[in-house]
Amino acid sequence: MDFSASSFSSYYHLIFISLALIFSTLLVSRKSKQKPIKLPPGPPGWPVVGNLFQFSNSGKQFFEYARDLLPVYGPIFTLKMGSRTMIIISSADLAHEALIQKGMVFASRPSENPTRTIFSCDKFTVNSAEYGPVWRSLRRNMVQNMLSSSRMKEFRDVRDMAMDKLIERIRSEAESNDGVVWVLKNARFAAFCILLAMCFGVEMSGETIEKVDQMMKDVLITLDPRIDDYLPLLRPFFSKQRKQALQVRRQQIETLVPFIEKRRDILRNPGSGGSAASFSYLDTIFNMKIEGRKSSPTDPEIVTLCSEFINGGTDTTGTAIEWGMARLIENPAIQSKLYEEIAATVGSRKVKEQDLEKMVYLHAFCKELLRKHPPTYFSLTHAVTEPATLAGYDIPTGTNVEFFLPAISEDPKLWSSPQRFDPDRFLSGGEDADITGVTGVKMLPFGAGRRICPGLAMATVHVHLMIARMVQEFEWSSYPEGSKIDFGEKLQFTVVMKNPLRAKIKARVV
């Protein structure tokens, strides 16, 4: 769930108003025949458009709008966004009840808008599939064949190379920029390169990588929600955008299918791929068995699965690193402590992945980072498989169930001084949290339950490794020098820094 008020430009209001008037009568007469459903409370809205006006007039980003409603309506409330009914959950207890105790019932996904359907090949991805055999097959394949701990080890070299490349990029950017570098762009690109290599297992030139990256960004922009996703009656006004979406999809297929064919070739003729990887996500997909289906995935479906694999861990990881570096710049004492731990663990040699487990402070830092700055403020939208209840309210099928993550990880009932960024809380402070939420929910940057992020372990390694290498190589400070960091937030697929972080760096002298 991610959209901003500004994306709903004001001239739509005219259309809203006329539609509201025409359909309100219809709705009222239909409503009276329905069995009463007790939805969680929420701000009263208009017929047909529901709370869409209030949101778009607020000028706020959706997460800000929702955050401001929490004190008014409590830990579970309803928003009617046109044809979508959203139930927003923001307490640890209710998240635990829904995602763990009633996990199976809350494990589905709602219907998609038409643009998403194009790119997901009609919900043929782990993240969009409804709870059922297709989701089980796709998720099992990804988890067992790509994200298991033994597979993770196989890709160590890929990560090591990507980290070297990241440090090199940062160094050369600093050299040509008076020591100043952009953080998000570099971190995001490093995560992207790792996932790209794991996914396709074919050699790619720097230029090709950049081209694929640009194409992935175009897809994400195309997937940005539009007003007609909430008011399907407006769809006829958006045929141009639909054509554009189909065009981007065609480009996505044209860009990625050649890599798929190349990998097929390499598998048929081992040794023909130069320095191609010994294993890739593609290898697991070509002959994948999908429960309830006779055929293996088609090329467009493979494109969709690959894009999911790459997109799932690119912006999320980049975002975590941007906030992480901001916190290190804001707190030089934390940065020094982290650097001292790194130096004490590895001496003058480069940090290796195997070193990470020995770095207790690094772990505390990254946990605090994901508590204070979960890269997505809402988990992916859930839906119930059958009518359910939560906190005494009805949760009908077809409603969007959203979990508002920062409200949980900043809940003063669960955390001492939750607004303070303090890695020590996990050490001397004696606080702890099970990041998977199984034994209790206190923070859930990766969601919880059956739909928990399958990339959790790998993403954690990426974040730890990137932070460790970036701090080992450079001393980070604010730019312009002496300026205070602006912790304003902005939604851009994930919740990134409103003013993208630029930092001044100095190579460490060992």
Question: Residues marked as binding for heme?
Answer: 453
Q: Which x/- pattern, by CB under 6 A, does the window 73-112 give for ligand HEM?
A: ----------------------------------------
Neighbours of 224 (CB within 10 A): 15
Short-list 307, 254, 323, CA closest to 463? 323
- Would you say 448 or 503 has its CB closer to ligand HEM? 448
User: Which residue's CB is nearer to ligand HEM, number 327 or number 451?
Assistant: 451
Nearer CB in complex with ligand HEM: 231/320? 320
Q: CB 195 → ligand HEM: shortest distance, Å?
A: 6
Distance of alpha carbon 403 from alpha carbon 106, whole angstroms? 11
Helix (H) or strand (E) holding 389: strand 388-390
CB 497 within 8 A of CB 487: yes
Q: Which of 446, 476, 479, 493 binds ligand HEM (CB under 6 A)?
A: 446
Q: Cβ(148)–Cβ(154) under 8 Å? A: no
What is the chain's Cα-based Rg? 23
Task: Rank residues 373 and 504 by Cβ distance to ligand HEM and give the closer one.
Answer: 373
| Residue range at the interface with ligand HEM (CB under 6 A); choices 13-21, 61-69, 257-265, 445-453 | 445-453
Smallest distance, Å, CB 324 to ligand HEM?
10
Distances (CA, A) of 189 to 3, 194, 489: 24, 9, 21
Give the binding-site size for ligand HEM (rule: CB under 6 A). Answer: 26
316 binds ligand HEM (CB under 6 A): yes
- For ligand HEM, which is the closer residue by CB, 56 or 252? 252
DSSP label of 498: S
Burial of 439 (0-12, 13-18, 19+ CB in 10 A): exposed
Q: Are 299 and 219 in contact (CB under 8 A)?
A: no
- The H or E element containing residue 491 is strand 489-492
CB-based contact 378:404 (threshold 8 Å): yes
The interface with ligand HEM within residues 191-210 (CB under 6 A) comprises 195
Contact 170, 281 (CB under 8 A): no
Q: Residues 458, 467, 491, 503: which binds ligand HEM (CB under 6 A)?
A: 458
Q: 4 in helix, strand or coil?
A: strand
**Binding-site member from 3, 155, 309, 377 for ligand HEM (CB under 6 A):** 309
Among 249, 372, 451, 504, binds ligand HEM (CB under 6 A): 451
Shortest Å distance, C-beta 205 to ligand HEM: 23
- Pick the binder of ligand HEM from 313, 324, 406, 423 (CB under 6 A): 313
Residue 380 engages ligand HEM in binding (rule: CB under 6 A): yes
Number of Cβ within 10 Å of residue 139's Cβ equals 17
Cβ proximity to ligand HEM, 82 vs 313, nearer residue: 313
Contacts with ligand HEM by CB under 6 A lie at 126-127, 139, 195, 308-309, 312-313, 316-317, 320, 375-376, 379-380, 445-447, 451-455, 458-459, 463
